[in-house]
Structure 1
Amino acid sequence: MSTQTSVDLAPIPHVLWETVIPAGTHWSGVLRRGMALRIVDPEGGANLAAVFYRHDEPLERYNMADTLKAQHTAHLTRGHVLYSDMGRVMASITADTLGWHDPLGGLGDAELFADKYGAARYQQHRNAMVRNGRDSLLLELAKHGLGTRDLVANINFFSKLAIGEDGSLDFVAGHSAAGAAFDLRFEMDTLAAFSSAPHPLNPSSEYEPRPVKLLAYRAYAANASVPADDPCRAACPENGRGFVNTDRLFV
């Protein structure tokens, strides 16, 4: 499947709300059908770990394996969609200045971060404490009645892994420059949870997370659907069928 990368993102006609996820912290919220987020790396070098769940039925959630195999890809960018484990399209990447986001690298946990960065607890370091991606996402999921068994394979937006001929994965430093951004359009009512903790394969021994900015806007009316020639819907036959499955929830 071929994809394209847009160098310039279209202006947002009306920003409904915006927020900044501070470096090394976490956020969650519900994005309704037809809403979109412009997600920005203001300083460069950000990593945004993300998981997604159907808001009214969270047993349906983002499925990494189906997302990759349906679109014949090992990375995500403009034209790709995010599939649920029920074969429905949860969200679409409609614009992207980077061209590569990592769906394979997973999350760092407390043990990994302690070995890499040492101990930096809140009692001594306050907001400069070390936070790992796994615990950060679990804290956000707990706010919505979800727990450890609900934590699925995540996406690491703004990060890139080089895949060796032997199957090895190597972190690509400097992939995301300041101002890098992409648009994520939601095709169903979706609970999203984000962590701005560093990527687990980042080889740096310095704990240097970066903030991420979110800007929300309306991409289309909640009672509408994207047309057949939408670039994400038309990217491959599998995506067309996935959108049909999603649309049927809202008939």
Structure 2
Amino acid sequence: MSEVLLSHEIPGGAAWSVLVRGGRELKLTATGDGANCSTLLFAAHHLVDRLNVPDTLKAQMSARIHAPMVLMSDRGTALCSVTRSSLDWHDAPSDHSVDVAKYDPSSYSADRNAWRRSARDGFLSELRKHGRGPADLHACVNFFSKVAISGDGVLTFAPGHASAGDWVTLRAEMDVLVVLSTAPHPLDPQWNPGGALAEVRPAPEAGEDDPSWTLRAESARALRAAREVLA
């Protein structure tokens, strides 16, 4: 196993952001049962490329995120590849939580660091650290969560989909800013958020026989576009 370059534990209901260099791997591990890790992705050094969930799903013929899918930008450029995971389903269509009004009342004055905040609040707090703001919010991937979609479009949240120790690894295909929130999934009826451990490691070099390259022609095109950005 390659050395850990950076490690940070995100408590449940918190947020964090990290710059991951191209060619490195970000491993997210659930540290509690029922964890949810809402994730935004941006190209680190320009404002053009950010995660586009609808295009990512449509181009790879999927309604969920799973290995070895490629997470694509607005321009069809690969930002990260989902290389491995202990789970075969990570939610994307549901987006992140916007408010926590359905849970018990909470405030900083009463609850201090246990104050209940939505993923949106956590995202905005982290984005401001990087000179970004509300205009940079976009649809996210909810790692560790599962939401099944029926034939008539009804979304059904699967409680307890993830257990402590479940994990997913993302290979950065260019320098990316990753913004994470461990607030509960917006469809979760309970406020009992599990945390996540984020670890950055060097990633093995990927050739064009890599599973993310061979998944679909659209995946390979996105990865070639990322290499052109790095060139």
Same fold (TM over 0.5): yes
The answer on whether the counterparts of 2:90 and 2:142 sit within 8 Å (CA) in structure 1 is: yes
Give the partner amino acid of 2:228: R
- Distance in 1 between the 2:161 and 2:225 partners? 35
In the superposition, the TM-score normalised over structure 1's length comes to 0.89
The answer on whether the counterparts of 1:23 and 1:196 sit within 8 Å (CA) in structure 2 is: yes
- Distance in 2 between the 1:182 and 1:29 partners? 16
The answer on whether the counterparts of 2:85 and 2:169 sit within 8 Å (CA) in structure 1 is: yes
- Aligned CA RMSD, in angstroms, stands at 1.1
What is the Cα deviation at residue 192 of structure 1? Answer: 0.7
The answer on whether the counterparts of 1:171 and 1:203 sit within 8 Å (CA) in structure 2 is: no
Alignment length, in residue pairs? 231
Counterpart among 89, 113, 135 of residue 121 in structure 2: 135
Q: What is the correspondence of 1:50-61 to structure 2 with a 5 Å cutoff?
A: 50-61=39-50
- Distance in 1 between the 2:19 and 2:113 partners? 25
The answer on whether the counterparts of 1:51 and 1:154 sit within 8 Å (CA) in structure 2 is: yes
SS at match of 1:149: helix
Q: 1:218 aligned to 2:218?
A: no
Q: 1:28 aligned to 2:14?
A: no
For residues 187-235 of structure 1, give each alpha carbon's deviation from its aligned partner in whole angstroms, at most 9, with x where no partner exists.
010011000000000123xx21111001110004xxxx62110011111
What is the Cα deviation at residue 165 of structure 1? Answer: 2.1
What is the Cα deviation at residue 58 of structure 1? Answer: 2.4
Give the match for residue 32 of structure 2: 43
- Distance in 1 between the 2:47 and 2:17 partners? 14
The answer on whether the counterparts of 1:162 and 1:171 sit within 8 Å (CA) in structure 2 is: yes
- Distance in 2 between the 1:59 and 1:229 partners? 28
- Distance in 2 between the 1:30 and 1:20 partners? 15
The answer on whether the counterparts of 2:49 and 2:77 sit within 8 Å (CA) in structure 1 is: no
Greater than 4 Å deviation, 4+ residue runs: none
Give the match for residue 174 of structure 1: 160
For residues 26-71 of structure 1, give each alpha carbon's deviation from its aligned partner in whole angstroms, at most 9, with x where no partner exists.
0011100001111101222100001011111123200011101110
Give the match for residue 217 of structure 2: 237
Q: Which runs of 5+ in 2 are unaligned?
A: none
Give the partner amino acid of 2:70: V
SS at match of 1:20: strand
- Distance in 2 between the 1:28 and 1:100 partners? 23
Give the partner amino acid of 2:169: D
In the superposition, the TM-score normalised over structure 2's length comes to 0.97
- Distance in 1 between the 2:45 and 2:159 partners? 38
Q: What is the correspondence of 1:183-194 to structure 2 with a 5 Å cutoff?
A: 183-194=169-180
For residues 67-124 of structure 1, give each alpha carbon's deviation from its aligned partner in whole angstroms, at most 9, with x where no partner exists.
01110000011110100111110001111111000011112223xx11x113211111
Give the partner amino acid of 1:196: T
The answer on whether the counterparts of 2:89 and 2:145 sit within 8 Å (CA) in structure 1 is: yes
- Distance in 2 between the 1:43 and 1:29 partners? 21
Q: Which runs of 5+ in 1 are unaligned?
A: 1-11
- Distance in 2 between the 1:210 and 1:156 partners? 13
Give the match for residue 192 of structure 2: 208
For residues 125-181 of structure 1, give each alpha carbon's deviation from its aligned partner in whole angstroms, at most 9, with x where no partner exists.
111111101111011111111111110111100000011221100100111012101
- Distance in 2 between the 1:82 and 1:107 partners? 17
- Distance in 1 between the 2:105 and 2:216 partners? 47
Give the fraction of aligned pairs with identical amino acids, expressed as a percent. Answer: 38
